[in-house]
C-alpha cells in the first residue's frame, strides 16, 4: 500500500489557519502525504490541486460560515472532472442544521471544534479510496 | 539577600525534610510534572527565596507609579470600572443596530463592531470572493450608507466604539468620522478605537491586503491624522489576542505583541513624529486564556515592559506614553462545542484573571461560540458574567489584590525575562517586519499550536468534556442561524447606491487617493472625501491595490 495523499485547503476569505496547519501536521505524522494549499483558495483551485497531486482526500477547513456555498461547489467540480472516489472531509464551525446539508452533497466526515486528531486520522484511513502500489 | 551557609539547612531544605517527604511517602502527587497551559514548569511552592534579586520598590512600585506593574491607576477599579465592551455584529447594518441597542439597554458601556469577512478583506458584497461570506462572521458594511444605518439612533458623542478592522481600518474609520460629523459630534471630543494592527495579521490572523511596508504607511498616516484632528481616538490596538488564538503560548503572545508595539512606535518615529505626540493613543489587546495565574502575570509584565521600553528605548517623557492600556477578550479557542454550558464557567474564570490583571475593558465570550455567532440570550449572559464579577465578587475593592504573592511576582519576572529574550532575537533579525518576512513568529506559533494539540491527545492537558468527563449524548444549545438573505439585501442596496451617487465625484476622489498613495499626502484626507462621495470599501481598497499590489504569504505548516 502506498501512502494516502491528502490535500488540506483553506477556502473562502478567512485566514484562521491554526486548525488546517495542526491537522496537516497530524496527518503527516500519521504517515500520510499531505499537501497544504495555503489561504483563500477557490473551489476550482482546490479541485485542480487535488488532480495535480493525485489526491485521495481533500480536507477543507472552514470557520467563517461559507461552507454551504463552498462545499457543494467543490463536490460539483469533482463530479464534473470525474473524481468520484476522492473523499472530502470538512473541519470547522458547522451548525447542526448544515451537517445534514453537507451529508446530502456527499460529505459525511464533518469534524467540529474539540474533535481528537486520532478520530480524524482513523476516519480518513478507513474511508479514503484504497490504493495499491502501481509501479 | 541571605546566602546558604554549609551545614545550615535553608528554609526550603528544612521544609522538604520535615513536612514534604513524609507527606509524599503517604501519597504521591497526581503528576510527575506540573506545567501551565503554555507548558511552563511550575514549582511546588513559591517563597521569598523564589524572588532572589526582586526589589519591590523597583519591580513593583505603587499602583499608578512607574513601571505600573500594579496597574496604571492609583485607585484601580474603585474609581471607574472597566468598560464592558461586547464584540458584536452580524447580517445587515439594520440587524446589528438592533443588537447594539439591546446591549446598551442591558448595561453595556461601549460598542465593539465585528465586521464580516468581505469588509475585513476590503471586498464589496458582490465581489466573487465574497460569495457565501456576506454578513456571516460580522456585519456587512460596504459604504457610508451602511455606516449611517449601523449607528442610527446611537449618539457617537456619548459612547465609545471599538472597531475590529485592520487592512481597511482607515476606510472604516473615515466612515465613522463622517457619521459623527453628520450627527453633529465634535471630532476633537469623540473617542473609540480602531484595531489597525496589521503586523499580527501577517503573524496570525492573516487578514492582510497590501505588503507589510505600505500597510505600515497607512497606519502611521492614521497616527498623524488623529494627533491633529481626533486627539482622543485610540489609533491602534496592538493585539496579542489573535496571536494567542493561533496557538502561541502566553509568553509568545506577550513578546510578539509588545515587539509589534515597538515596531509601530519605530515606524512613527521614522515618519518624523515625536513619540509623545502619538504613543499615548496606542492601546493593546490581550487574550484571557484558561491558566489563571499565568495570564495574570502576563498583564502585569506587559505594563512593566512597555513602561521601560517607552522611557528607556524611545526616551518618551510624557507619562501617558509609559502607561500600557489594554482591552481583553476571553479565549475563543478555549470554548468547546461539547457540553457548551461549561463555557460559561471557563469564561468567568478567564474574565476574572483579566480583571485581577487590571484590564481597561473586557469582552466575555458567549457559551455558544464554538457552534455559531451568539444568540441574544447567550450574549446577555456573557455580559452578566462581567457584571457579577464587578458588583458581587468584591475583587474590585482593593487595587491589585494579588500583588506581592510570591508565585505571582515570580511568574511576572519570568514573563518579563522571556519576553526580553524574544525582543533580542527579533531585534537581531532587523525588527518585526523583517522577522515576519522570515516567517519567524509564524513558525514559533505553528510549533506551539501543534505541541498543545499533542498534549491534549496524550491527555497531558485535560479539557473537561473533550478528553475528560466526556458525555456520549450531545445535549446542544439553541444557536443563531444566519441565512443567505443578508447577502441579497446588501447586494441590492449596493446596486442602488452605485446608480444614485455622483459617480464623477467618486472617480475624482479615488484618483486623489491613488496620488496620495504614490506620494506623501496623508491618505486619510482623500479617504474622507471618497467616503463622503459614497465610494465603497471595495473601491477604496482596489485603488490602493493598484498602487501597492497584494501580499501573498508562503504557508508555513
Q: What share of chain B has pLDDT > 90, as a percent?
A: 87
Residue B486: phi and psi, rounded to 5, are -60, -40
Listed by number, the residues of chain A in 46-85 with a beta carbon closer than 8 Å to a beta carbon of chain B are 64-70
pLDDT of residue B164: 97
Mean pLDDT by groups of 10 residues along chain A of 135 residues: 91 93 96 95 95 97 91 96 95 90 95 91 92 48
pLDDT of residue A135: 41
The number of beta carbons lying within 10 Å of the beta carbon of residue B258 is 23
Contacts of A69 in chain B (CB under 8 A): 131-132
**Do A17 and B555 lie within an 8 Å CB cutoff?**
yes
Domain ranges of chain A: 5-127
Q: Which CATH class is domain B56-88+195-457?
A: alpha beta
CA distance B384 to A61: 33
CA distance A122 to A104: 22
Q: Hey, is the C-beta of A116 within 8 angstroms of any chain B C-beta?
A: yes
The number of beta carbons lying within 10 Å of the beta carbon of residue B501 is 17
CB pairs < 8 Å spanning A and B: 111
Contacts of B476 in chain A (CB under 8 A): 96
pLDDT of residue A95: 85
Contacts of A113 in chain B (CB under 8 A): 335-337, 370
Kindly state which CATH superfamily the domain A5-127 is placed in: Cobalamin-binding domain (3.40.50.280)
CA distance A129 to chain B (A): 25
Mutate which: A15, A37, A59, vs B, most B CBs within 10 A: A15
**Helix or strand run (H / E) with residue A59:** strand A57-62
Mutate which: A8, A18, A29, A60, vs B, most B CBs within 10 A: A18
SS (H, E, C) B43-63: CCCCCHHHHCCCCHHHHHCCC
Write out chain B's pLDDT in tens, 557 residues: 445 555 566 777 887 888 889 988 888 899 989 999 999 999 999 999 999 999 999 999 999 999 999 999 999 999 999 999 888 999 999 999 999 999 899 888 889 999 999 999 999 999 988 988 999 989 999 999 999 999 999 999 999 999 999 999 999 999 999 999 999 999 999 999 999 999 999 999 999 999 999 999 999 999 999 999 999 999 999 999 999 999 999 999 999 999 999 999 999 999 999 999 999 999 999 999 999 999 999 999 999 999 999 999 999 999 999 999 999 999 999 999 899 999 999 999 999 999 999 999 999 999 999 888 899 999 999 999 999 999 999 999 999 999 999 999 999 999 999 999 999 999 999 999 999 999 999 999 999 999 999 999 999 999 999 999 999 887 788 988 887 889 999 999 999 999 999 999 999 999 999 999 999 999 999 999 999 999 999 999 999 999 999 999 888 77
**Do A21 and B557 lie within an 8 Å CB cutoff?**
yes
Q: Hey, is the C-beta of A118 within 8 angstroms of any chain B C-beta?
A: yes
CA distance B241 to B253: 8
Those residues with Cβ within 8 angstroms of residue B225's Cβ, 6 or more apart along the chain or in another chain: B522, B524, B525
SS (H, E, C) A81-134: CCCCCCEEEEEECCCHHHHHHHHHCCCCEEECCCCCHHHHHHHHHHHCCCCCCC
> Does the predicted TM-score (pTM) go above 0.90?
yes
Q: Nearest-CA residue of chain B relative to A39? A: B555
Q: Which of A21, A69, A117 is facing B132, going by the closest CB pair?
A: A69
* DSSP string computed for B165-217: --TTHHHHHHHHHHHHHHTT--TTT--EEE----HHIIIII----S-HHHHHH
pLDDT of residue A1: 61
Contacts of B557 in chain A (CB under 8 A): 21, 24-25, 28, 34, 36
CA distance B549 to B384: 45
**Do B247 and A65 lie within an 8 Å CB cutoff?**
no
pLDDT of residue B131: 86
Q: Nearest-CA residue of chain B relative to A111? A: B337
Those residues with Cβ within 8 angstroms of residue B309's Cβ, 6 or more apart along the chain or in another chain: B258, B261, B262
**Do A65 and B131 lie within an 8 Å CB cutoff?**
no
Q: Hey, is the C-beta of A111 within 8 angstroms of any chain B C-beta?
A: no
Q: Which of B131, B136, B457 is facing A117, going by the closest CB pair?
A: B457
**Do B553 and A38 lie within an 8 Å CB cutoff?**
yes
**Do B371 and A24 lie within an 8 Å CB cutoff?**
no
Q: Which of A25, A114, A116 is facing B450, going by the closest CB pair?
A: A25
Joined together, the cell numbers standing for residue B419 give 519576553
Q: Hey, is the C-beta of A99 within 8 angstroms of any chain B C-beta?
A: no
Domain ranges of chain B: 56-88+195-457
Amino acid at each position: 500500500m502506498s501512502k494516502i495523499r491528502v490535500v488540506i485547503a483553506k477556502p473562502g476569505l478567512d485566514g484562521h489557519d491554526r486548525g488546517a496547519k495542526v491537522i496537516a501536521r497530524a496527518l503527516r505524522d500519521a504517515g500520510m502525504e499531505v499537501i497544504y494549499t495555503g489561504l483563500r483558495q477557490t473551489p476550482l483551485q482546490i479541485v485542480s490541486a487535488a488532480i495535480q497531486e493525485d489526491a485521495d482526500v481533500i480536507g477543507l477547513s472552514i470557520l467563517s460560515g461559507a461552507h454551504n456555498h463552498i462545499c457543494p461547489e467543490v463536490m460539483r467540480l469533482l463530479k464534473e472532472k470525474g473524481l468520484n472516489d476522492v473523499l472530502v472531509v470538512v473541519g470547522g464551525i458547522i451548525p447542526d442544521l448544515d451537517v445534514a446539508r453537507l451529508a446530502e452533497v456527499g460529505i459525511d466526515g464533518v469534524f467540529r471544534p474539540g474533535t481528537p486528531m486520532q478520530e480524524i486520522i482513523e476516519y480518513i484511513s478507513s474511508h479514503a479510496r484504497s490504493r495499491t502500489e502501481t509501479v | 539577600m541571605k546566602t546558604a551557609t554549609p551545614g545550615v539547612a535553608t528554609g526550603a531544605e528544612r521544609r522538604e525534610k520535615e513536612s514534604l517527604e513524609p507527606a509524599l511517602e503517604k501519597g504521591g502527587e497526581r503528576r510527575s510534572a506540573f506545567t501551565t497551559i503554555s507548558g511552563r514548569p511550575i514549582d511546588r511552592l513559591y517563597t521569598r527565596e523564589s524572588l532572589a534579586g526582586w526589589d519591590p520598590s523597583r519591580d513593583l512600585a505603587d499602583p499608578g507609579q512607574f513601571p505600573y506593574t500594579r496597574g496604571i491607576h492609583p485607585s484601580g477599579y474603585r474609581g471607574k470600572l472597566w468598560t464592558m465592551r461586547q464584540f458584536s455584529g452580524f447580517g445587515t447594518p439594520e440587524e446589528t443596530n438592533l443588537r447594539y441597542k439591546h446591549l446598551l439597554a442591558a448595561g453595556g458601556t461601549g460598542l465593539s463592531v465585528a465586521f464580516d469577512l468581505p469588509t475585513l478583506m476590503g471586498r464589496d458584497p458582490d465581489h466573487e470572493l465574497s460569495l457565501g461570506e456576506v454578513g456571516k462572521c460580522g456585519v456587512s458594511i460596504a459604504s457610508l450608507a451602511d455606516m449611517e444605518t449601523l449607528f442610527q439612533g446611537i449618539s457617537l458623542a456619548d459612547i465609545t466604539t471599538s472597531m475590529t478592522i485592520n487592512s481597511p481600518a482607515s476606510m472604516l474609520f473615515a466612515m465613522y468620522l463622517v457619521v459623527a460629523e453628520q450627527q453633529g459630534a465634535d471630532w476633537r471630543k469623540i473617542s473609540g478605537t480602531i484595531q489597525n494592527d496589521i503586523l499580527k495579521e501577517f503573524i496570525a490572523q492573516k487578514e492582510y491586503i497590501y505588503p507589510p511596508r505600505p500597510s505600515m504607511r497607512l497606519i502611521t498616516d492614521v497616527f498623524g491624522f488623529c494627533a491633529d484632528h481626533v486627539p482622543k481616538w485610540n489609533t491602534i490596538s496592538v493585539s496579542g489576542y489573535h496571536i494567542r488564538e493561533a496557538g502561541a503560548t502566553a509568553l509568545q503572545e506577550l513578546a510578539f505583541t509588545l515587539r509589534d508595539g515597538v515596531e509601530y512606535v519605530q515606524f512613527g518615529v521614522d515618519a518624523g513624529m515625536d513619540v509623545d505626540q502619538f504613543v499615548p493613543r496606542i492601546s493593546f489587546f490581550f487574550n484571557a486564556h484558561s491558566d489563571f495565574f499565568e495570564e495574570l502575570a502576563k498583564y502585569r509584565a506587559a505594563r512593566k515592559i512597555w513602561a521601560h521600553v517607552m522611557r528607556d528605548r524611545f526616551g518618551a517623557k510624557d507619562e501617558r506614553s509609559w502607561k500600557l492600556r489594554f482591552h481583553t477578550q476571553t479565549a475563543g479557542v478555549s470554548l468547546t462545542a461539547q457540553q457548551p454550558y461549561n463555557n460559561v464557567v471557563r469564561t468567568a474564570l478567564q474574565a476574572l484573571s483579566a480583571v485581577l490583571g487590571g484590564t481597561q475593558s473586557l469582552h466575555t465570550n458567549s457559551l455558544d461560540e464554538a457552534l455559531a455567532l451568539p444568540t441574544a440570550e447567550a450574549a446577555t449572559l456573557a455580559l452578566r458574567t462581567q457584571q457579577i464579577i464587578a458588583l458581587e465578587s468584591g475583587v474590585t475593592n482593593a487595587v491589585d489584590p494579588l500583588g506581592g504573592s510570591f508565585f505571582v511576582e515570580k511568574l511576572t519576572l519570568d514573563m518579563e525575562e522571556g519576553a526580553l529574550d524574544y525582543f533580542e532575537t527579533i531585534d537581531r533579525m532587523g525588527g518585526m517586519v523583517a522577522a515576519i518576512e522570515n516567517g519567524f513568529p509564524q513558525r514559533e506559533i505553528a510549533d506551539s499550536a501543534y505541541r498543545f494539540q499533542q498534549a491534549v491527545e496524550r491527555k497531558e492537558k485535560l479539557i473537561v468534556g473533550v478528553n475528560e468527563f466526556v458525555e456520549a449524548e450531545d445535549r446542544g444549545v439553541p444557536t443563531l442561524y444566519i441565512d443567505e438573505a443578508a447577502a441579497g439585501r446588501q447586494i441590492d442596496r449596493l446596486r442602488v447606491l452605485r446608480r444614485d451617487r455622483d459617480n464623477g465625484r467618486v472617480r475624482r476622489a479615488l484618483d486623489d487617493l491613488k496620488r496620495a498613495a504614490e506620494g506623501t499626502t496623508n491618505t486619510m484626507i482623500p479617504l474622507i472625501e471618497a467616503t463622503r462621495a459614497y465610494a465603497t470599501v471595495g473601491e477604496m481598497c482596489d485603488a490602493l491595490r493598484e498602487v501597492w499590489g497584494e501580499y501573498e504569504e508562503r504557508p508555513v505548516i
